[in-house]
Amino acid sequence: MTDYATISTETWKVRLPSDWSERECSAKQNIYFESADGAMGAYFSTWCFNDDPRPMREILESFHRLEVQALHEMEDSAWQSTGEWSSESTELSVLGGDFLDRQKCYRIVCHLIASMPWVVRSAFHHYDCTNYQRSKRFFQPIIESLQIHTEET
């Protein structure tokens, strides 16, 4: 059974396995956490859209298009979409995609959440994904735990 620790910023929180730690990341706007064995990682970035008139869904769709484009532009990769999801309420919009490069045993789950004015982009990486279903079961509670702070949280 995995033990979890809550990681919290001013804007969002997530529950990661307790043996994961923050590592240096080359992109300034990203925070990166990695498993103790280096086989998995998670990137988080936060964006503020105070003056953007677009609906939350439109903003998330633009992020998602860029993510998919970047995956397909990676050299020597053969990414396949294994699933997408979305939900929307007046307070929260969610959009995500699950991608697998079977040849390289590499899985990336892109998960976006928005509660205006905030958008949180997360990308969960499994660098040695030899069992897709096990990877899916492992990451699901982590992905579901990602929240943007509200007055109640």
pLDDT recorded at residue 153: 58
In a domain, 141, yes or no: yes
Q: Which range of residues forms the domain containing residue 59?
A: 4-148
Indicate the residue type of 94: V
**How many separate domains does the chain show?**
1
List, in sequence order, every residue forming a beta bridge with 41; answer none if it has no partner: 34, 125
pLDDT recorded at residue 36: 95
What's this model's pTM, rounded to 2 decimal places? 0.92
In a domain, 153, yes or no: no
| Confidence band for 9, pLDDT divided at 50, 70 and 90 | very high
Please give the backbone phi and psi of residue 71, each rounded to the nearest 5 degrees, phi first.
Answer: -60, -45
- The C-alpha angle 25, 29, 33, rounded to 5 degrees, equals 40
Residue 30 has pLDDT above 70, yes or no: yes
pLDDT recorded at residue 42: 97
Task: Give the C-alpha separation, 33 to 24, whole Å.
Answer: 9
In a domain, 77, yes or no: yes
In a domain, 49, yes or no: yes
In a domain, 19, yes or no: yes
Q: Which of 12, 34, 15 is nearest to 23 (CA)?
A: 34
Q: Is 127 left (phi over 0), alpha (psi -120 to 50) or beta?
A: alpha
- Here the CATH number for the domain that contains residue 32 is 3.40.1000.10
Number of H helices, E strands in the chain: 2, 10
Average of per-residue pLDDT values in the chain: 92
Q: Which residues of 88-127 are buried (b: 16+ CB within 10 A; e: fewer)?
A: eeeeebbbbbbbbbeeeebbbbbbbbbbbebbbbbbbbbb
